[in-house]
Structure 1
Amino acid sequence: MPSSPNSSTTDQRKKLGELVVVVLRARHLTNVKLSKQDPYCSLTINTEKRRTAAIKKGGQHPEWDEQLKFDIYEDMQDQLLRTSTSSKSSGDPDSLGKSSGAKKEGKKVFEKGAKTMRVACYADAPREPELIGEAVFDLAKALNTGEDDDWVTINRKDRYAGEIFIEFTYFIAVRSITSARLFIPLSSSSPSFRVFGSFR
């Protein structure tokens, strides 16, 4: 069966890896409700959006400890970089493990600001959630080193609205001999790998 002409754009995107995000807790959130608020977090990378559960009466210091996962794909800038580096090396240009090679050479795989995540915190409500605060977090360190954690300061209308503690773990995707998709942790402290399905 012939493929749809509109599917080519999606199929051409290469999966670079998987980003596991753990939203742990928040502190000093602005209380936007008269009673104790029910906060939840919403995370967005490109068009992918994930959210935590709302913590009933979590108030200003909720604890979520919830894991969210994002697939990381190359964008146009990544495609140009991959084409440039593959023309200078004898490696397989179809490999999804280019980032590990560049890392070993001491080069940055993701420039600062190239990949970001929108972090937003809301007070849940029956009709419409109310924004507590939001921020844009740079993912460069997490994607280049394999892990990161930080207190992310959120603001609303340029005013401090609290902080959210988030942990990041990035697994790069490579193509194995058996054509299975492997996610390899960049951190040397975690030498094992996990298998996630197979290529089509």
Structure 2
Amino acid sequence: MGSELGTLVVVVLKARNLPDKHSFYKQDVFAQVTLQGTTKKTQTDIKGGQHPVWDEELRFSVVDQGKKPIVMEVSCWSKESRTDDVVGKGELDISETLRTGEFDGELVLLIAMPVR
């Protein structure tokens, strides 16, 4: 692998209009971010339902991959007693952001619903 570029700070703020996994009560939801093989999660928003709020900072060490794109995967999960269920996930190429330097703003990522 290449040299370390630095630390990427990802603020996972909230999700809106998530598919609801439950009929009679609100789902407990957490977000998960994966970057270059490292996965980190937010705390679970108990009864966050379709509109959870986390407002959490996740930090990742980023390594230069040359011309290969650097892709961040974001997913939302419903916390279940046996096995957590994926609510949806999406990917975002952050190569340009890393090349140009600091990005201070909001990225809206449309989460694709899993196929059943």
Give the TM-score band, short-chain normalised: 0.7 to 0.9
- Give the Å deviation of 1:33: 1.9
CA distance in 1, matches of 2:80, 2:97: 33
Letter in 2 for 1:57: K
Letter in 2 for 1:118: E
* Structure 1 gaps, min length 5: 1-11, 79-110, 159-200
CA distance in 2, matches of 1:140, 1:149: 16
- Give the Å deviation of 1:62: 0.9
Q: Secondary structure at the match of 2:55?
A: strand
Written as runs of structure 1 = structure 2, the 5 A alignment for 1:56-95 is 56-75=46-65, 78=66
Partner of 1:29: 18
CA distance in 2, matches of 1:137, 1:143: 12
CA distance in 1, matches of 2:7, 2:39: 14
CA contact (8 A) 2:28 2:78 kept: yes
Partner of 1:102: none
Q: Secondary structure at the match of 2:5?
A: strand
How many residues matched?
113
CA distance in 2, matches of 1:19, 1:118: 14
Q: Secondary structure at the match of 1:154?
A: coil
- Give the Å deviation of 1:64: 0.4
Written as runs of structure 1 = structure 2, the 5 A alignment for 1:1-200 is 13-34=2-23, 35-75=25-65, 78=66, 114-145=69-100, 146-147=102-103, 148-157=105-114
* Structure 2 gaps, min length 5: none
CA contact (8 A) 2:36 2:62 kept: no
CA distance in 2, matches of 1:13, 1:142: 18
Q: Deviations over 1:136-176 (max 9, x none)?
A: 11112321231152111001236xxxxxxxxxxxxxxxxxx
Letter in 2 for 1:115: I
Q: What is the identity percentage for the equivalent residue pairs of Structure 1 and Structure 2?
A: 32
Larger relative helix fraction: 1
Q: Secondary structure at the match of 1:142?
A: helix
| Structure ID, larger Rg | 1
CA contact (8 A) 2:87 2:114 kept: no
Aligned residues: CA RMSD: 1.9
Q: Deviations over 1:94-116 (max 9, x none)?
A: xxxxxxxxxxxxxxxxx6x7111
TM-score for the superposition, normalised by structure 2: 0.88
